[in-house]
Amino acid sequence: MEFLSGLINFLLNVYSEFIIGFFIFVNVFYFSMYTISFGAIITYLRRHMFCDYRVITQSELTPAVSILAPGYNESATCVESVNSLLKLNYPTAEVVFINDGSKDNTLDVVIKQFDMVKTERVYIQTIATKAVRGIYVSQNPQYRNLIVVDKYNGGKADALNVGINVSRYPLVCAIDADSILEDDALLKVAKPFLDDESVIAVGGIVRIANGCSIDRGKVTEVRLSRKLLPSFQVIEYYRAYLSGRMGWGAINGLLIISGAFGLFKRDIVLKCGGYKHDTVGEDMELIVRMHRYCRENDIPYRVDFVPDPVCWTEAPETLKILGRQRNRWHRGLLDTLLIHRKMFFNKRYGVLGLVSVPYFVFIELFGPVIEAVGYIAVGIGFYLGIVNLEIFTLFFVVSVIYGVMFSVSAVILEELSFHRYPRTRDLIKLLVLGIVENFGYRQITVWWRIKAFWDYWRGVTTWGTMTRVGFKK
């Protein structure tokens, strides 16, 4: 018994030292990323002073874009979605709506509304996909930029691959059917392709639309949701995009461009083989594969990120749905990192192999496990009476302060740059939530992410139903 107690004591001591080391490492890393992001945002804002987007709209030299909108059982919303995509501010763009074998009358609704007829257009299957049943174009000149593809059901990734095969333009934009895009979204994400010809993919900031007023598919008034869960997610998105992805973009180590909105060079996507359809993290997996392809073939490239809020999405409002979403994200992360494990600490992949992938493995993937084991160890320690209360309290307070500091820093970055929440009370609420989220919310997300390991091991590959409550009109 004494031996067991001594062993536990020893293990707890080792773990507590590991935790302190890990804590210092994580915070130093976050601080570095925040500094890089801050510099990148300032540079972006300075460059922004010399960018008149009207010039892009008026120029014949602007690269044309194919917008890919996959839809499955979207009969209620497809017309509004397609209409808002057709109205996006961009000189040359085509909208490719892909009906992914919907069981409802999505196809009929689109055909009727946009006066579509079946064409004899050749479908070249550069990326292998499920069979295409028909390609439709509109008889109405007003919709000459709309193409509707009807195919057998194969999931979102398969539908996007069909869209990539069908598209005619050098840039392809993948979006979620329920994303709300800003009018100038395409212009803003196309700009990096004009600045630097080696750019192969660009992502932008996705914002949470819960609480905002939406009119005819556009965000007309930005407000913070009255509900707690979506507001917590606003803070999380700030941290992820403004202090995370912006920094990764600056060092060309960005591994994720949200599936809700991303712009890619079509020829590189085709060479990489398009989206992988047997993973739940197909958006991240494609970016990692694009990185890998360019590195392995010595192609100079950049994966860029613009800090402009370009896309709005509806965040889950219940714990159950949020849990499913986080679980899926974590399974996607795990799957992608396993597929590309060759890159882990491999200097051939430069900053990607030596910094990005190890960061995602140690901090993003295993961070929740380390945190959860910490909570358990503290419990055991208290039970055995071996926890030094003063040190524990100090550590806890410091960790909360660091968490709050990064949340506040993210809010400051937002206020310095785009300040999309005009009301002071929203700002105060965000600052308060940055403190509150450390007590309860953070621990729940840790649990969801740990559960993802178990689900992945069991072979769960489903997305889980994402019930949407709809936007305030």
Partner 1 sequence: MIAVGSIGLIVSKVRSATIETKKTKRDIATHAALNQYLFTEMPGKDASGHVESISKRLEELLNNLSFELDIKKNSYNNTRRHSLKRVMLKLTTEVTGETRFRLTLAFEYFDFVAEENKAMQDSRWWLRAKGCKNAGLMRNESCLPFLERCLDDDNDDVRIEAAQSMLDIGGVQTLSPILMRLKDMSPWMQVRLSKSIFGFGEHAVVHLVEAMRSPYPKVQGFCVEILGMLGDVKAVPTLLEYIEYAVPYVKHKSLIALGKIGDTRSIPIIQKFLHSPDEQLRIDASKAAGSLSSPLLAYDLHWMLVKDTMNVKLAAGEALARSGELGVKSLQYAINLEDENVRMVALQFLHEAGVPVQASQPQGER
Residues at the site binding partner 1, with contacts judged by CB under 8 A:
46-47, 49-50, 55-56, 58-63, 119-122, 124, 191, 193-197, 401, 404-405, 408-409, 411-412, 415, 419, 424, 427-428, 431
Q: Cβ closer to partner 1: 201 or 352? A: 201
Closest CB to partner 1 among residues 42, 319: 42
Tokens at 78, concatenated: 């497809």
Cα separations in angstroms, 427 against 71, 408, 430, 432: 36, 10, 5, 9
Minimum distance, C-beta of residue 201 to partner 1, in the bound complex (Å): 16
Distance CA(100)–CA(125), nearest Å, equals: 16
- Nearest C-alpha neighbor of 204 from the set 237, 156, 234: 237
Alpha-carbon torsion 178, 181, 186, 188, what sign?
negative
Comparing CB distances to partner 1, the nearer of 193 and 360 is 193
CB of 292 to partner 1, least distance (A): 26
Report whether 256 contacts 336 (CB < 8 A). Answer: no
Cβ at position 316, least distance to partner 1 in Å: 28
What contacts 11, CB < 8 A, 6 or more positions away? none
Q: Measured from the CB of residue 248, what is the shortest distance to partner 1 in angstroms? A: 23
The residue written with tokens 């679980």 in the block is 327
Residues 6 or more apart from 41 whose CB is under 8 A from it? 242, 246, 307, 413, 416, 417
> What is the side-by-side strand order in the sheet with 261-265?
116-118, 132-138, 146-151, 93-100, 65-71, 171-175, 261-265, 199-208, 302-313, 180-181
Least Å distance, CB 116 to partner 1, is 14
- Using the minimum distance from each CB to partner 1, give the nearer residue, 55 or 128: 55
- Residue 62 Cβ vs partner 1, minimum distance, rounded to whole Å: 6
Closest to partner 1 by CB, 122 or 389: 122
Looking up tokens 């910094």 gives 355
Candidates 128, 131, 473; CA nearest to 314 is 473
Q: Decide whether 26 or 408 has the Cβ nearer to partner 1.
A: 408
> β-strands 116-118, 146-151: how paired?
unpaired
Please, which residue, 328 or 429, has the CB nearer to partner 1?
429
Closer by beta carbon to partner 1, 58 or else 393: 58
Whichever of 155 and 249 has its CB closer to partner 1, that residue is 249
Strands 171-175 and 261-265 come out as antiparallel
- The nearest distance, CB 411 to partner 1, in angstroms, is 7
Asked whether 330 and 360 are in contact (CB, 8 A), the reply is no
* Residue 414 Cβ vs partner 1, minimum distance, rounded to whole Å: 10
Residues 384, 386: Cα–Cα separation, whole Å: 6
Q: How far is the CB of 336 from partner 1 (least distance, A)?
A: 31
